[in-house]
Amino acid sequence: MSNNVPVPTYESLDKIYATEALGRQGPRYNALVEKFTSLYGRKPDFIARSPGRVNLIGEHIDYSGFGVLPMAIERDVIIAVATTDDDSKVRIANIDPNYEPREFDFEGKGTIVTIDSTKHEWSNYFKCGYKGMLERAENLEKPKGMYLLMDGTVPAGSGLSSSAAVVCTSALATIEANKLQLTKQELTEIAIVAERNVGVNSGGMDQSASVFSEQQYALHVDFVPRLSTRLVRFPETQPPMAFVIANTLVTADKFVSGPRNYNLRVVEVKMAALFLSKALDLPSTDSLKEVFDEFAKKQNLINASELEKYDALLERVKNIFPKDSSNGQGYSLEEVSDMTGLPVQALKEEYMTRFPVETDYYRLVQRTHHVLTEAKRVVEFEEVCSKAPANTLETLGNIMNASQESCDKYFNCSCPEIDQVCEIARKNGAYGARLTGAGWGGCTVMLTTESNVPTLIEAIKQGYYNQKFPDLSQEKLEDAVLSTQPGSGSAVFTGFLKKI
């Protein structure tokens, strides 16, 4: 797949959404155009669109350098846009009345627009895409004025990348409004950097999935040696497959829990790589992906399959870690120092000063097992999609279930609520169910069949939400559990200029 292609422009919604979604999306787009016309006294020139995403397999391995496999979902952000040469003001409103209209002006090529990231302000996410895009457009002296109306269906804070969907759509709206010739790759790169203006430091999976995805495909995203993507087609199955996403509505306070959860896992996998590169007599590195690559070279496995390479390394590291003094619970910092050959102070300065870390033991054996087996599962998932065996649904489901078990047992990033939702799902027709995103709460993703979607969703509503959140409104319930097909990425829609 070439990354150097422009974002497509479509005149028909069936190029963007699955057939079963058109009954929802047609009226939605019509309502957006009607509201826009009522609000601004003119029709929009075009509608920009970017979706949210869900990661199917490959959890907590991106920061070790391994590729992941997300897909775009139907839930998305759409922005109706009209331009003017009369001024360079941006007027932005939202279909949701909870978000008040905003207006700002182009502040010149040096600043473009001021973004106060200390304020939780919804229009900041549009400003990110706008600012990032115009920073790239060096030859544009004065951008068009814009009239905007946004409608977003990706639940905020759900782990489905609502912020990336807004930023990608905003950047795309700015591109199209000013007739800038930019590729999908450039849009992705701009969106990744732009989101940092609101304090989100992303590795690029969210934006890549939002921009590059296609209907009926997952998207393999690699991070080294550079960000790259390739499409992975889902096979046709009988009965047809479908996915359900359920938000546990449990959120971990990253400021409070980060030192013992996410921050610690990043440090543990780096320490594991340092030890393994030393123990295996490889070039020193704190990247498990580099350990994987260098080990394959040293063992002359260059022509072996990816799965054979993983098996070889997993077998080699099985008994290479020394015995700890905690009866299998993990290593003390002093033991890690002995294992890596780095003084305790050097370890602290390198890995524990930028972000706080708290722990009793460093569980390097468990983390290594998860990262290597999870990276292997990404390859296995792709191979099943490619070969499409008769038992495709069962096999993909088993891979997802193994991922959940590893996240729970070896990476300790699940929680009782995630475990409960996954158990309910498997008892009600899900072939596979696992956490998606960072874990410690957040969302789960399940593989089922199209015909079983209503049964599965109802079982989760009755068995989980009605028990744990009995006062949840119907609107919030619909946002919490939803079905989706592998969706398409960013696009410009102009079909309403005729008739949707």
Tokens of 475: 């609107």
CA distance 328 to 334: 16
Alpha helices in 320-473 (DSSP H): 333-340, 344-351, 364-387, 392-409, 416-427, 453-460, 466-468
Q: Tell me the one-letter amino acid at 104.
A: F
CA distance 10 to 492: 6
Beta bridge pairs of residue 55: 70
CA distance 156 to 251: 12
Instruction: Select from 69, 27, 75 the least CA-distant residue to 50.
Output: 75
CA distance 380 to 454: 29
Distance of CA 202 to the CA centre of its chain: 9
Backbone angles phi, psi at 255, to 5 degrees: -65, -40
Say whether 206 is catalytic: yes
Helix (H, G, I), strand (E, B) or coil at 223: coil
The DSSP H or E segment spanning 212 is: helix 205-212
The DSSP H or E segment spanning 175 is: helix 162-177
Among residues 151, 206, 222, 324, the one annotated as catalytic is 206
Instruction: Select from 75, 157, 70, 80 the least CA-distant residue to 126.
Output: 80
CA distance 261 to 252: 10
CA distance 431 to 131: 44
Give the residue numbers marked as catalytic.
Answer: 206
